[in-house]
Structure 1
Amino acid sequence: MKHAIDSGGLEPPVSPSMTSRIRLKHLQAFRAIVNAGSITAATRMVNLSQPAISRLLAVLEEELGFKLFYRRGRRLVATVEGQSFFRRIEGTLSGIDDIPSIAADVRVNSYGRLRICSIGPLLLGDYLPKATARFQGDFPDAKVTMEWRRREDIDEWVSSRQADIGFTLLPIESNSVTWRKLITVRAVAIFPKGQCFDGRETVHASELRDETTVLPKQNVRLRQYSDAAMFGDQGDMRVDIETSTAVTSCHLVANNVGVGISDPFSVSGLGRDRLGIARLEPELTLTYCAIWPKDREPSQQAMDFLDAVAQVGGEFFEAFPEACPV
């Protein structure tokens, strides 16, 4: 799965007058360099020579009016503007890549492809994978595309119809989507099996700060809640290891790196045989939802998938009672 790159909210202006010479081949060459890290490696991805890719990149930068890469040793690294531009065109290019499979679906008049985007915890844990398995069991001819996206990007992907449904964390800040609540859970304390808090049913967040702490970075909403619970009005205190996702934090804790706080969905991908889990005090609740474009009702296929998600949600607390809100 491709990981979106955080550009700090900076979006390069692209006016229609700037794009007169830009063609699909320019964008495909740009994507290849981003993914490969060099023009040499990119040649194998787009089957073009190095001079051809260099010319395409030069034209694209000239038309856009900003540099897309800078050199770091032998690698080409996207500039802040290049990262932001990539985020905005990635979905379009992915859609173009899907044209052959879309055409095949139309030719055989099959059940259409359902495009889903989701934040990491729901997709990388067991929640959406189990729902997808149930959905496929009911509709074996269904085609599904699933994309991991940052919470900040989910609204845009759905409102621009790059995805039929999005799964994310409330609150929703966009006015261009409609949302439906799925499930409210409480965050849990996580720790290595057989160490420190093992055997405890409840752990207070303040107890974690005296251990080696593993938490997501501050731009992740769970981290913001965790800081308030662990440190109170003392502000952001020592956090030993920061990660980009709660899923990564869970894997580090499972490998005896430290302790932390996680949403229960990220925990579900590892399970109790690898990770110690306890009810967290004070209670930190997280509410997740499904979203779709405001001006379009979900298809029957999308509604069928949401039914499968609801069934899995109803069973989740049986497996993880620590995550059940009071």
Structure 2
Amino acid sequence: MKPIQFRWIEAFQAIAESGSTIDAADRLGMDQSAMSRHLSALEGQLGIALFERQGRRLRLSPEGSEMLGEAEATLAAMDRFRRRAQEIKNLAAGHLHLITTASLARGFLPEVTQDFRRRAPEVTLKITVAARAELEAAIETQQFDLCAVALPFPYPAANLIRIGRYPGVCVLPRDHPLGAKKTLRLADLRRESFVGLPNSTVGRLRIDALFREAGLTYRPTIDTTAVALNELVAAGAGLLITDPFTARSADSERTIVRSLKPTIEYEFAFLFPTKRKRARLAERFVEMAVPDSR
């Protein structure tokens, strides 16, 4: 059985509203013979007569009157389908799933996300926050549209867009004496206690090397995950050397952030899935976050 074509339904509605194949053909921009063929094909497929002839006019048959409502509903659904496709094409609607770490979720993504939402208010945005190990496992499954992560990260360069490099900073309790300085030197931290990431992490190893090169020892009294670090600083447990995004999420009423010299640089990137085509919404998000990424 030949499937019913959308054009046939359009022809049926146009004839029902105009009362003739000639007027309906003018309305849809086709010749009268094509309009008649569309109607005949639809009636043949349905097995019912949709119109009764009254002189030169066509009037809906009882069966045609019942089918007109179905035709109008079908055309309305197709119109919604087209509009939705256009919205997605114009990045005005759709769904975007982004996975990232806590530091980027709190310190980098809020402003970018807000800008994206202003430009695409109908897009549904899902942000999954995970620890580094969980993030690596999630990336293995490729069940995401976009990932924001700290480098280094083993990933194909063709699917990686660098966000930028940012100097490390020092987070202190607000009442700490070193807060009087705008920039701290490593020597200023000689007798300070620290909180930091576990010694197996890349960030921790780089800070160890930074202090070692300056002839100092970096030995945090508390090792923990990034989520807890700022709260520990605020409670007076120690100072924190970290990336600016983690520092930005600290409690500004209880902590302060100071630049550090010399320091290490933190680099971040967006990752696209490697096993499927890039989502256009993900590409647009990256373009907003990293304007020179095109």
Instruction: Give the TM-score normalised by the residue count of structure 1.
Output: 0.56
Q: Which one-letter code corresponds to 2:96 in the other structure?
A: L
CA shift at 1:118, angstroms?
0.6
Structure 1 residues not aligned, in runs of 5+: 1-105, 312-326
Would you say the 8 A contact 1:155–1:166 is kept in 2? no
CA shift at 1:264, angstroms?
0.6
Give the stretch that moved more between structures: 285-294 or 165-174: 165-174
Partner of 1:157: 138
Would you say the 8 A contact 1:159–1:176 is kept in 2? no
Q: Distance in 1 between matches of 2:101 and 2:250?
A: 17
CA shift at 1:229, angstroms?
2.0
The answer to whether the aligner puts 1:213 opposite 2:178 as a matched pair is no
SS at match of 1:167: strand
Partner of 1:18: none
CA shift at 1:223, angstroms?
1.5
Partner of 1:114: 96
The answer to whether the aligner puts 1:254 opposite 2:234 as a matched pair is yes
**1:102-160, CA deviations, whole angstroms, 9 ceiling, x for partnerless residues?**
xxxx9x9573321111122101x231122111111111111111111233443552353
> Relative to 1, partners in 2 of residues 1:237 and 1:201: Cα closer, same or farther, differing over 3 Å?
closer
The answer to whether the aligner puts 1:140 opposite 2:121 as a matched pair is yes
CA shift at 1:182, angstroms?
0.5
Q: Distance in 2 between matches of 1:200 and 1:268?
A: 18
- 1:171-320 to structure 2, matched below 5 A, reads 171-175=152-156, 178-232=159-213, 238-245=219-226, 247-270=227-250, 272-310=252-290
Would you say the 8 A contact 2:230–2:251 is kept in 1? no
Over the aligned positions, Cα root-mean-square deviation in angstroms equals 2.9
Q: Distance in 2 between matches of 1:171 and 1:216?
A: 16
Q: Distance in 1 between matches of 2:209 and 2:188?
A: 13
**1:213-245, CA deviations, whole angstroms, 9 ceiling, x for partnerless residues?**
111112332222122223449797532111111
Structure 2 residues not aligned, in runs of 5+: 1-80
SS at match of 2:181: coil
> Relative to 1, partners in 2 of residues 1:159 and 1:243: Cα closer, same or farther, differing over 3 Å?
closer
Partner of 2:10: none
> Relative to 1, partners in 2 of residues 1:192 and 1:144: Cα closer, same or farther, differing over 3 Å?
same
> Relative to 1, partners in 2 of residues 1:274 and 1:285: Cα closer, same or farther, differing over 3 Å?
same
CA shift at 1:310, angstroms?
2.6
Partner of 1:323: none
Would you say the 8 A contact 1:181–1:289 is kept in 2? yes
SS at match of 1:112: strand
CA shift at 1:292, angstroms?
0.9
SS at match of 2:122: coil
Would you say the 8 A contact 1:192–1:259 is kept in 2? yes
Q: Distance in 2 between matches of 1:176 and 1:183?
A: 15
Would you say the 8 A contact 1:159–1:294 is kept in 2? no
SS at match of 2:284: helix
CA shift at 1:255, angstroms?
2.6
SS at match of 2:126: strand
Q: Distance in 1 between matches of 2:242 and 2:104?
A: 12
Give the stretch that moved more between structures: 204-213 or 217-226: 204-213
SS at match of 1:238: coil
If you compute each CA radius of gyration, which structure gives the higher value, 1 or 2?
2
Q: Percent identity?
A: 21
